[in-house]
Structure 1
Amino acid sequence: MALSTHTTSTGYLLPSIHSAPPFFTQQPNPTTLAIATEHWVKLITGYARHRKLFFLRVEDAESPGNDWAEVLRNERINRRLPPTYLSYILEILVNKNLAAYEPPAQTRAVMLFWRLPEEWAEVLHEWATSTGQLNSILTFYDITDPPLESPLTGIPIPLLRRAIGILTKSNRAQIISIPDGEGVRFFPGNKYVG
């Protein structure tokens, strides 16, 4: 069978390596493993961005029909990514700062950074500026579930906190205690460099 690209039902173009049976096996040769794993890292982060997926769990490799099935499986060649290999890939994603274990203190689930926290901070500040939210106090819910869909719709609270923390360091945001928990106030300012 010749290697070929494939467009998934969600419109994502899988690279030709996805049709190679050895791609779904954790290779014993360190060089081959490093190359294949780098392809998996790119595939996972690209697909997550395409689908706006924030979480990946080792269990996603075991159960068909989940949000990740069309990437972690290839029914055309009867292959699926083994959970042990996915666990290894999650560790690599965390080591490359492209993910963080979420919840912390476990190694079976990650929150993916298909945009780095610094990039989310810029998206967040641009959103606050363009929607006239500067100097207003917003709840995290106001940001993650706005009346009109935005690039921040559905962003996980731990990732939102990281982005706000970055803006706080550059004096472009401030965490505020409010009766229902925490809120944030955004201030005008320059892009964070550091």
Structure 2
Amino acid sequence: MALRTYETPSGFKLPSIHSFPPFYTQQPNPSSQSAVAEQWSRLILAYARHRKLFVLRVEDAETSGGDWDEILRNERINRRLPPAHLESIMASMTSRNQAAYEPAKQTRAALIYWRTPDEWAEELHQWVASTGQLGTIMTFYEIIEPPVESPLSGIPISLLKKAIGYLSRAGRAQLIGVADGEGVRFFQGPS
């Protein structure tokens, strides 16, 4: 089988390396493994952005039918990424701040940073400003489940809190306790 790009049912274009059988096995040479991990990291980040996926679990490599099947499996060459290899790739991604273990203190699930927390902070602030809500208090629910879908729809609370943390340190947001949990007030802040 010739190496070539392939478009998945979701419209994601897989790179030609995805059809190379050794891509699915951990390489004994550390330099080779580092290169493979970098290619997998780029693929995972691009796919997460394409599908708007936030969490990758080692179990995603163990079970079929999940959100990540299009990239963790290649039925055309009868290959799948083994769980131990995925765990190693996730460790590489967290060491490069492309992901963070969620919850912390375990290594089987990670938030994938297809946008970094500071990029999410800018996206959040722009969205709040564009909807005319600067100065008002918003609950986390209003941010992640707005009446009209936004770029922040479905963002995990832990990632939202990291983004708000960046804005708070910059004087552009303030966490506030509200009756049904936590909320945040956004300010214009320094330009």
What is aligned with 1:26? Answer: 26
What is aligned with 1:17? Answer: 17
What is aligned with 1:126? Answer: 126
The code of the aligned residue for 1:145 comes to E
3-state SS, counterpart of residue 76 of structure 1? coil
The code of the aligned residue for 1:138 comes to M
* Structure 2 gap ranges (5+): none
> How many Å separate the matches in 1 of 2:97 and 2:50?
19
What is aligned with 1:137? Answer: 137
What is aligned with 2:85? Answer: 85
Match runs of 1:33-182 below 5 Å:
33-182=33-182
> How many Å separate the matches in 2 of 1:39 and 1:158?
27
* TM-score w.r.t. length of structure 2: 0.99
> How many Å separate the matches in 1 of 2:179 and 2:72?
43
1:137 Cα deviation from its structure 2 partner: 0.3
> Any conservation in 1 of the 2:173–2:185 contact (CA below 8 Å)?
yes
The code of the aligned residue for 1:174 comes to Q
Q: Where do 4+ consecutive residues of structure 1 move more than 4 Å?
A: none
3-state SS, counterpart of residue 177 of structure 1? strand
> Any conservation in 1 of the 2:171–2:190 contact (CA below 8 Å)?
no
What CA RMSD, in Å, does the superposition of the two structures yield over aligned residues? 0.7
- 1:8-59 Cα offsets, whole Å, 9 max, x none, are 0000000000000000000101111111110000000000000000000000
3-state SS, counterpart of residue 106 of structure 1? coil
The code of the aligned residue for 2:133 comes to Q
The code of the aligned residue for 1:142 comes to E
> How many Å separate the matches in 2 of 1:190 and 1:4?
48
* TM-score w.r.t. length of structure 1: 0.97
Comparing 29-38 and 11-20, the one that deviates more: 29-38
* Structure 1 gap ranges (5+): none
Task: Report how many aligned residue pairs link the two structures.
Answer: 191
1:164 Cα deviation from its structure 2 partner: 0.2
Comparing 156-165 and 28-37, the one that deviates more: 28-37
1:190 Cα deviation from its structure 2 partner: 3.4
The code of the aligned residue for 1:164 comes to I
> How many Å separate the matches in 1 of 2:23 and 2:13?
16
> Any conservation in 1 of the 2:12–2:47 contact (CA below 8 Å)?
yes
1:179 Cα deviation from its structure 2 partner: 1.1
> How many Å separate the matches in 1 of 2:32 and 2:100?
25
> How many Å separate the matches in 2 of 1:181 and 1:36?
43
The code of the aligned residue for 1:93 comes to M
The code of the aligned residue for 1:83 comes to P
- 1:155-185 Cα offsets, whole Å, 9 max, x none, are 0000000000000000000001111111000
> How many Å separate the matches in 2 of 1:47 and 1:54?
10
The code of the aligned residue for 1:15 comes to P
1:189 Cα deviation from its structure 2 partner: 2.1
